[in-house]
Amino acid sequence: MQSGCCIRGLWILNNQDFVIFSRKFPVVERRWRVACEKESDDNFKYHLLPYDSELASAFADRKKREGSARGFGIRVSQSVKGSDSWVDDPITRHVISLHINKEEKGENHLLWPLILHIKGPYSILVLPLVEPHHLKSYSRMCNRSDCGSAIGADENLSSLLLDLPSITGAFIVAHTIGEIILGEAVEPEVVAASSPSVGGLLDSLTGSIGISGISARPKPVAAPVAASTASGTAVSGAVMSDAPKMGSRPLDKDVLRSFISSAMPFGTPLDLSYSNISAIKTTGFSSADMPPADRKQPAWKPYLYRGKQRILFTIHDTVHAAMYDRDEIPDCITISGQVNCRAELEGLPDVSFPLTGLDTARVQSLTFHPCAQVPEHGGDKQAITFSPPLGNFVLMHYQALCSVGPPIKGFYQLSMVSENEGAFLFKLSLMEGYKTPITIEFCAVTMPFPRRRVVSFDGTPSIGTVSNTDHSVEWKIITNTRSASGKSIEATFPGTVRFAPWQAQRMPSFGSAIGSVADEDSDLETESSSSMVNVEDQIMEKMSKDLQAVDLEDPFCWQAYNYAKVSFKMIGPSLSGMSIDPKSVSIFPAVKATVEISTQVTSGDYILWNTLGKCPVAATPEA
Amino acid sequence: MAGKLLSPTEWESVIDDYNLGGAANLHRWTGGASVVDLCISSLLRKDFPVQLKLNLLTFLEHDSLDDSPLPSSSLSRLIDALRSVIQSPSDPFALKDQFLISTTAIFITSLLDNDELISGSPLRDLVELFLTIINRPNHGLDRHTRGVACECLRQLELAFPCLLSEITPHLWSLCQSERTHVSQWYVLLLSTTILNVVKLKPSGTSISSMSNATIPLIPFSVPQFLIDGVGSDFVWKEKEICYKELRRVVAAGTSGFFDEGAVLMAALHVRAIALPYFLGIYFKFLDSFQGQELEVASRIMLLSKEPQHHLVFRLLGLHWILGFFALIVGEDEAKKRSILDMSLRFYPTIFDPLAIKALKLDLLAYCSSLICNPGDASGLKGVEADKGVYQVTLFKDGLVSVSAFKWLPPWSTETAVAFRAFHKFLIGGSPHSDASSSSVGTLIESDIFYTLQVANEFVCTAPDAILYGLVGRCVASEVSRHVSLEEVLAAMGWGRQ
């Protein structure tokens, strides 16, 4: 087993499958060559890394063979022996192989494991160094004539991946490069208590800052307090969409080259912190930047802060919920959250404080930043000590159950009264059982109808305003903090929504579809609805025939269900129970610094399933 | 010097041509002249833009991969050029750093392919240049370049083990002095050097003490044993070196900082990165961790549940668990038992991406396959029944998360995941490689198979292609060689007209 991660080469392709950037690392490649020569036989020998044109054509071939850039992932009827989906595992959408054709030599050889990361219009491929027997083993798996990787088979993908930590390192490299080329390398958000509602304009401004903007920043210490919305606020949950999209600024190759030469000069990643690296590249050092007299400056803190001292913490809960309002299916509410920090402290101090809310019955997982030292988990209160890096960072991540009832509960019913008209009813109760100082800043409910065009809606809610777009109806329940401070709110909204006549759609392509099982017997006849006993079943059946397969990265086929999505933001104590007492934050060596703590609670996937329709479920283990 | 000088625009075309199709495309530009020589003259031009020079350097690195090793004369010219850039007050640090890196890479590839060059002056000169750079601890302006030079030396030490063994005491003292953020680069260099000394124990080395250097840092000379070519077959030998001292150095210099993985981890605040490294250590010292298997498995399981991680790390986490179980389980009933105790944690949750659901179903199928004896399941958490019922519970519960396949169109991803799980549960219980005909009976009589039959009512709605896909898989497999297609279809009640 290798102890580290070395990269043989990396390539970036645009959405026309053209290589627009490539970098090979001769020192690592030489190691691979030596290893190959040791283990070469009739079927296996060393091959030069592909040139850009060879790699591009191999990538295009795979795309054709596997239906999409990512591929089928699991074995389907079109999967051919020797291809990734033959291995029958979802991870082959991320760790791929390419068949390189060296035309002039008439050779065809396998390149694996290539880490595929799709970001914006770009496909990033990173090839870590493995040992020849790993490659041979994968090659056998792709060509095995049995029925796919059996669990516990002698040679299986899981055991192979367990033996390859370099794959993890290569993914980090790919992700960092993805953020750099899209200009998204930003720090987590820390909200200063003096300006609690930072967001909106500031966020959108910083979100659009390009790489040059960030690297032109004088030093990381000058980073804006609310640097981004990158973490914790992803609206559609944890999964980032990897679908390539059009339209982006051109790739800044110089920035990328400069990053690579600092972060992994010889192919071995040393330090992937883009903010530090770009600051060093653009600012450099002056003779005034003196190292501390008594301690060594850590690699992750190349500059020391100078100025007014303060430390900021933001506790950020994101609430995910699947609300069914059915006796047989329990609601499912979880909170994932993080504590972000920004320490503007001179020198290299240690910070410590007791964190409360760690009751093990409620907290499911805790992960800390490597700068933190935490005693063995246990108990509701724990002392956390850390030596903070520069800029904003995520001190810890947690997953917990809700310490109080769900912030929004109730039901959503939608019933199709005719083929093009639905009657709906919302009956919600907000913040039931919640007390001040917790307040709700905004709350809105959206009914998405991605496959139907909304013509009009009728109905007046008991509170708030309603508007619609072509494919959704949005009910803004609370738009103003003052109207809703510290009391529970009942909100109802009965109404009807009318759609344009249903038109069957022909889907151009299927994501990771079962594929050629063509929709031959899809009957598209438009029968008169008057003769139907159950118009609802009829239309649902008709509509579901038209559903395209979703990617393996989606939790289920969202479009197959009717639901309402709740979005909200609350200020006040966290729902997870995490809290920090500003008076108990201590800094060593002692300095006078203000401590500011803010808490916010926002919605993640907070879904009210249509009580009268189908809904996705998962079995809850009876523990 | 042969060949004409190329203009910046021409160089751009050369590099593009090269990247696209390799060295074969270069001849029309160089007219047969040495690419290195052409590059060197351009690198020294004051009127060429820095970005182009950086491109030229990486181009040279790439070219060293498929070109024959450079002759000693070219290497000497390269060093001369490097020296003049490093000493130039006007060249930016970015160019100096890249020049150091590229020269090192080119040297390593050329020298390793031509042993005779090791004794030559270019390598000595290069090391000496690096040593001059790093020998200014705490100097303000060029601190990052000193870090880069340390990394270059480290790469040379990795390529030519024990190259720096004789100057280890100097490296140790530099390590102690350096206090800027690049001190870690010094530590890495020192630890690599010490590791090689301890591992390979070069004979004839003149290190007698870490605290007293017997030879000066500069001028540097390549150790005789490397020139003699014995570097490749060093053996362990008890020698005069003071191991106690070495241990002290390692403890002081590298505390909490033993490998580049640590730097990577610190920079990224992603603990996921540390896990595979930890697992690596775990497997090397399996016995020392006896009894902690479940804690390890639980920690990996958490990784797969934490939504802040990118999907791929969560998938890797599930794979590690599967691979980990396969490693530890063996014939040990107690371990099987503790894995089965974990099975409730493998249930897919509603918002898990389908890829995660698929792998969690694999884990459930794995648990199901662990139960060999009817009594195995009794007393397990949440189970008060025998083996068959337990297996079916896992199967049915797991499948709920993709139960939409019953009514979604046959090409839906839910259907694909569900049928993959059918297959895994079916074959999971059968020995895969050494199938005996008795396993056929086991397969058809298994409770899972029975459940599939019961589930027939929805399976029948699936189109033929999917069914044949599933059956085809089974038939292709080793275990099912003994089962005829008709037998399976008949048993399933899927006889087709």
pLDDT value of residue B103 = 96
- The minimum CA-CA distance between A465 and chain B, rounded to whole Å, is 30
* H or E stretch at A602: strand A594-609
DSSP 8-state assignment for residue B404: G
Count of pairs with CB atoms under 8 A, one residue in A, one in B:
413
- pLDDT, residue B341, reads 85
How many whole angstroms separate alpha carbon B410 and alpha carbon A518? Answer: 9
- Please tell me the predicted confidence (pLDDT) of residue A306: 87
3-state secondary structure of B343: helix
User: What is the per-residue pLDDT for A16?
Assistant: 93
pTM: 0.86
* Chain A residue numbers touching B315 (CB-CB < 8 A): 90-91, 94
Partner residue opposite A338 with nearest CB, options B268, B308, B397:
B308
Tell me: pLDDT of B486 over 60. no
CA torsion, ordered B320, A24, B259, B185, to nearest 10 deg? -160
In chain B, which among 179-218 make CB contacts under 8 A with chain A?
179-185
Nearest to B263 by CA among A269, A257, A597, A27: A269
pLDDT digits (tens, 9 = 90+) for A22-58: 999 999 999 999 999 999 888 888 999 999 999 999 9
Tell me the β-bridge partners of A412.
Answer: A426, A610
Q: Picking from A106-110, A451-455, A549-553, which range would have the lowest pLDDT averaged per residue?
A: A106-110
> What is the pLDDT, as a whole number, of residue B479?
43
Cβ–Cβ gap B302/A365 under 8 Å: yes
CA dist B15 and B10 (Å) reads 9
Q: Indicate the residue of A150, A281, A285 with minimum beta-carbon distance to B94.
A: A281
Judge: B93–A284 Cβ closer than 8 Å, yes or no: yes
pLDDT digits (tens, 9 = 90+) for B276-321: 666 776 666 666 666 677 777 888 888 888 888 899 999 999 999 9
Q: Which residues are CB-neighbours of B374 under 8 A, at least 6 positions away?
A: B386, B387, B388
> Closest Cα of chain B to A493: distance in Å?
27
- How much of chain A, in percent, has pLDDT values that exceed 90? 54
Mean pLDDT of chain A: 82
CA distance B103 to chain A (A): 11
Q: Do A257 and B58 touch (CB under 8 A)?
A: yes
Q: How confident is the model over A312-336, as a mean pLDDT?
A: 93
pLDDT of A215 higher than 50: no
Which band of pLDDT confidence, cut at 50, 70 and 90, is reported for residue A204?
Answer: very low
Name residue A389's amino acid: P
Residues A66, A69, A71: CA angle, nearest 5 degrees: 35
> What's the rounded Cα separation, in Å, for the pair A244 and A121?
5
Cβ atoms of B429 and B421 within 8 Å: the answer is: no
For chain B, give the number of residues: 497
> Cβ atoms within 10 A of the Cβ of B41, count?
15
Question: pLDDT tens for residues A5-17?
Answer: 899 999 999 999 9
The complex scores an ipTM of 0.87
Split at pLDDT 50, 70, 90, the class of A243 is very low
Q: What's the farthest any 2 CA atoms get from each other in chain B?
A: 90
pLDDT of residue A483: 61
Within 8 A by CB and 6+ apart from A174, the residues are A10, A115, A116, A117, A124, A125, A126
**Residue from B343, B401, B412 whose CB has the most chain A CBs within 10 Å, to mutate:** B412
The residue of chain B with its CA nearest to that of A168 is: B273
| Cβ contact A85:A92 at 8 Å | yes
* B315 to A73: CB separation less than 8 angstroms, yes or no: no
pLDDT exceeds cutoff 50 at B438: no
Q: Look at residue B258 and tell me whether its pLDDT is greater than 60.
A: no
Task: Provide, as residue numbers in chain A, all residues whose Cβ is less than 8 Å from the Cβ of B353.
Answer: 239, 552-555
The alpha-carbon gap from B256 to the nearest alpha carbon of chain A, in Å, equals 11
Look at B382 and A91 and tell me if their CB atoms are within 8 Å: no
The chain B residue lying nearest A319, using CA atoms, is B307
What residues contact residue A472 under an 8 Å CB cut-off, 6+ apart?
A446, A447, A448, A449, A454
pLDDT of A583 over the 80 cut: yes
The side-by-side arrangement of strands in the sheet containing A594-609 is: A363-368, A392-400, A332-344, A310-323, A594-609, A563-571, A439-448, A472-478, A465-469
Residues of A in contact with B296 (CB under 8 A): none
Q: Which of A52, A238, A291 lies at the smallest CB-CB distance from B180?
A: A291
DSSP A459: -
Cβ distance B355 to A90 less than 8 Å, yes or no, reads yes
Helices and strands in chain B: count of H runs, count of E runs = 25, 0
Write out the H or E segment, with its range, that includes residue A535.
helix A535-544
Higher-scoring residue by pLDDT: A2, A114: A114
Identify the pLDDT of residue B265: 37
Predicted confidence band of residue A92 (pLDDT cuts 50, 70, 90): very high
Supply A203's token pair.
């966020």
Segment A285-313 mean pLDDT: 85
Contact A169 B264 (CB under 8 A): yes
B357, with CB counted inside 10 A (0-12, 13-18, 19+), is: buried
| Residue B107 near chain A (CB below 8 Å) | no
Surface of B (352-411) touching A: CB under 8 A: 352-355, 357-359, 362, 365-366, 369, 381-382, 396-398, 400-404, 407-411
Contact between B129 and B82 under an 8 Å Cβ cutoff? The reply is yes
Q: Indicate the helix (H) or strand (E) that contains A333.
A: strand A332-344
- Contacts with B310 from chain A: Cβ below 8 Å: 171, 175, 240
Question: Which residues of chain B make contact with A545, given a CB cutoff of 8 A?
Answer: 409
Nearest to B366 among A24, A151, A257 (CB): A151
Distance CA A303, CA B199 (A): 36
Listing DSSP states for B204-239 in one string gives T-----SSS-SS-SSS----HHHHTT-GGG------
- Model confidence band, residue B224 (pLDDT cutoffs 50, 70, 90): confident
Q: How confident is the model at residue A371 (pLDDT cuts 50, 70, 90)?
A: confident
Write the pLDDT tens digit of every residue in B240-250: 445 566 666 66
- A198-202, A449-453, B23-27, B456-460: segment of lowest average pLDDT: A198-202
Report how far apart, in Å, the C-alpha atoms of A404 and of each of A334, A350, A385, A400, A565 are: 11, 34, 29, 12, 21
CB contact under 8 A, A614 and B183: no
Going from the C-alpha of A565 to that of each of A17, A431, A603, B219, the distances in angstroms are 37, 17, 9, 72
pLDDT at B433 (0 to 100): 43
Instruction: Judge contact between A398 and A374, C-beta under 8 A.
Output: no
Using CA atoms, how far residue A301 sits from A58, A216, A273, A606, B338, in Å, is: 42, 19, 10, 39, 43
What single string gives the DSSP state of each residue in A76-123? -TT--TTSGGGG--GGGGTEEEEEEEEGGGTEEEEEEEEEEEEETTEE
In chain A, residues with a C-beta closer than 8 Å to the C-beta of B423 are: 147-148
* From A100-114, A126-140, A363-377, B426-440, the region with the lowest mean pLDDT: B426-440
CB-CB contact of A285 with A189 (8 Å): no
Enumerate the H helices of B88-231 as residue ranges.
93-112, 121-134, 143-159, 168-177, 183-200, 224-227
pLDDT (average), residues B417-435? 70
- Count CB neighbours of B437 within 10 A: 9
CB contact under 8 A, B316 and A161: yes
Closest C-alpha among B165, B22, B142, B306 to residue A52: B22
Angle at B470 between CA B464 and CA B475, to 5 degrees: 115
**pLDDT grade for B490, boundaries at 50, 70 and 90:** low
What single string gives the DSSP state of each residue in A339-384? EEEEEE-BSS-EEEEEEE---TTTEEEEEE-TTEE-PSS-SSEEEE
* Residues in CB range of A537: below 8 A, 6 or more apart: none
Of the candidates A1, A435, A508, A474, the residue with the CA atom closest to the CA atom of residue B278: A1
User: Residue A599: which H helix or E strand, with range?
Assistant: strand A594-609
Chain A residues with beta carbon closer than 8 angstroms to that of B407: 544, 614
pLDDT bracket for residue A18 (50, 70, 90): very high
Chain A interface mutation, best of B130, B143, B264, highest count of A Cβ atoms under 10 Å: B264
CB contact under 8 A, A515 and B159: no
* CA distance to partner chain A, nearest, from residue B320 (Å): 5
Give the integer Cα–Cα distance in Å for A351 and A578. Answer: 18
| Share above pLDDT 70 across residues of chain A, in percent, rounded to a whole number | 82
Provide the 3-class DSSP secondary structure of residue B308. coil
Q: In what order do the strands lie in the sheet with A95-102?
A: A19-24, A7-13, A122-128, A107-119, A95-102
B316 and A298 within 8 Å at the Cβ level: the answer is no
Chain centroid, CA A118 distance in Å: 12
Q: Which residues contact B111 (CB under 8 A, 6 or more apart)?
A: B69, B117, B118, B123, B159, B160
Question: What whole-number distance in Å separates Cα of residue A180 and Cα of residue A211?
Answer: 7
From CA A358, how far away is CA A354, in angstroms rounded?
Answer: 10
CB spacing of B183 vs A397 below 8 angstroms: no
Residues B19, A286: C-beta atoms closer than 8 Å: no
Range from A414-428, B37-51, B311-325, B368-382 carrying the lowest mean pLDDT: B368-382
Q: Nearest CA to CA, how far is A602 from chain B (Å)? A: 15
| CB neighbours of residue B81 within 10 Å | 18
Nearest CA in chain B to A288: B140
Report the half-sphere exposure of B338 (CA within 13 A, side-chain side): 16
Contact yes or no for B355 and A292 at CB 8 A: no
State whether residue A438 is helix, strand or coil: coil
Give which of B235, B24, B229, B234 is closest to B111, Cα–Cα: B229
Chain B residues near residue A397 by CB distance under 8 angstroms: 306, 308
For A23, the 3-state DSSP assignment is strand
Chain A nearest C-alpha distance from B399 (Å): 8
Closest-CA residue to A141 (of A107, A108, A106, A110):
A110
Query: Which residues are within 8 A (CB) of B116 and not within 5 positions of it... i.e. 6 or more apart?
Result: none
pLDDT for B448 beyond 80 = no
Taking an 8 Å cut-off on Cβ atoms, the answer to whether B101 and A555 are in contact is no
The mean of the pLDDT values for chain B is 76
With tokens 């030998």, the residue in question is B237
With CB atoms and an 8 Å threshold, state whether A165 touches B280: yes
CA distance A610 to B196: 66
